[in-house]
Chain A
């Protein structure tokens, strides 16, 4: 995993959690936060990463998101490199609410 201070190898995306609702989000090319990883900005451009970093820090300071960090992205699949991050993208493979048709995910 790369971090806010130390970027990893290859393409990067920026992720965080929403402060209020807690859900996982990724920074989009429009520099907004999306709960859909499919919207995530992926880049190897260091200059863009610097801007992403600045946006992440600014939104943490604005109390919009929490725990901002860069993740490594597989160049061929576009998916996160780390297994844990793949799970953050996909959501739980099992949730009793989904299984039983209880309340919908937010």
Chain B
């Protein structure tokens, strides 16, 4: 994992001192709310529907055991004993008090954490593949690139007041686990025909009220040109992005209105004016950053573990968990473990302080003290020996973190919705719980197979509903919640925006409609065809008919 250098420490500690003084000035009236608001937002502190909310940055979703324990301590000491994993791999606390936040930020700084870049019109916290450094699929670990971007974008003076927020994601596998095409800039580590490693730059993607899939800006960008090229891209956005209308201010609107060819020309023209070496970092610095992400000391193991295989036969529940929640690791004898934060009865992404401590302990024992958060609002232990999987499973079970539903219909992405969010128009958590309850039978879930339901409580789409196989948007009219449905969205490397089916539903009607939809799918699918593939094969009409068939 990356460890802060002296500059990182100084920046974060300085910010804590600054914010402490700013809170004091706010409380005694030397700062008005209008003056204070942008300062608190720069540290991730929002005023939500019922109370303050603090969003803590988890750069590229990588946490140490020590950091997770500190988050647990903060949850207990300052909040209500739990935290919430967001779709940008961050962690939120729903009930902090303003007077405590300087102490919380100090506690975060003590473990190299903060709330920078979790709000405001800046380059936001960089996200990445939660399997980074563990999957055999990747060309290289994408996190050194993500860390380079974190350092470049943190407090970048030219990009602190962009027309609107700006989101970056980095992957290095053909399988996209970071939804890079729905980002302002998505960065894919690729190799060219000569075998050189560089970047595929995708621009202008985004969700929100205007969902757009990103387009290629550069098919192959040499590695050393990354920062200068992004600098040129951000400059063009800063210059031409709209500031008169916040709903048209994201780069996706600029790219769409300008056209990708003209936008690319503008970026290339700007790039030609730069002196790349003034911006690019040296190979030595890249090597220094990369060294922090070196593989842990994997043991030299056979890929087959007899004891593990035996348990798969004797313990059916364990076998089901292993089947759904494990992924292939690059090192023989190891596995990537997904920890579902989607138990049927609780809110997606929530984790109690006791569970945080348990996961931290388990990571110490079984996964080199590393934890990942995922945009799917789950957690990952990236490096677990197969021989340890059964013991790990038992310990996860003891703290109720053994849900075996990764990728299934109850593994729902869900924003906080009207229960917490000041922007929401309808609740999303109760709907996700109702869907999970309806499909609670594990056998039924497994029979349905891969299914991504994503729920947003308003058109800002924090719940990624545009790219759900079944996407649900919560709205309200005359005091009544209703839910609009999209079908056929895809958050993978085949990214697609779903199509609206038609009139909205009440929650009760929607649950019945989804059940009819799922039953229809099970009746028409060929072999082990996934829902999304059946939808692509058959089109909207029959699925819509099933959904509205009541």
Contacts and interface: CB of A to CB of B under 8 A. Distances in A.
Contact of B347 (A21, A63, A96, A106): A96
B81 A103 contact: yes
Interface string B352-368: 11000000000000000
Contacts of B433: 94
A10 to B, nearest CB: 15
B350 interface: yes
A66 interface: yes
Interface residues of B, number: 39
Judged by DSSP, the binding face of A is loop
B50 A91 contact: yes
B107 interface: no
A67 interface: yes
A40 to B, nearest CB: 16
Contacts of B50: 22-24, 88, 91-92
A47 to B, nearest CB: 27
Interface in B76-106: 76, 79-82, 94-99
A89 to B, nearest CB: 10
A83 B426 CA distance: 9
Contacts of A42: none
Contact of A83 (B52, B94, B476): B476
Contacts of A66: 33, 47
B352 A19 contact: no
Contact of A88 (B49, B427, B476): B49
Interface residues of A, number: 33
A94 B419 contact: yes
Contacts of A21: 51, 97-99
Nearest to A104: B80
Interface of B: 26-29, 33, 47, 49-52, 76, 79-82, 94-99, 345-347, 350, 352-353, 418-420, 425, 427, 429-430, 433, 476, 479-481
5 contacts: A17-B47, A22-B96, A24-B49, A84-B49, A106-B97
Given A61-B29, A100-B346, 15 more contacts: A20-B97, A20-B98, A22-B97, A24-B50, A24-B51, A66-B47, A82-B479, A87-B419, A88-B50, A92-B420, A99-B346, A100-B82, A102-B352, A103-B80, A106-B97
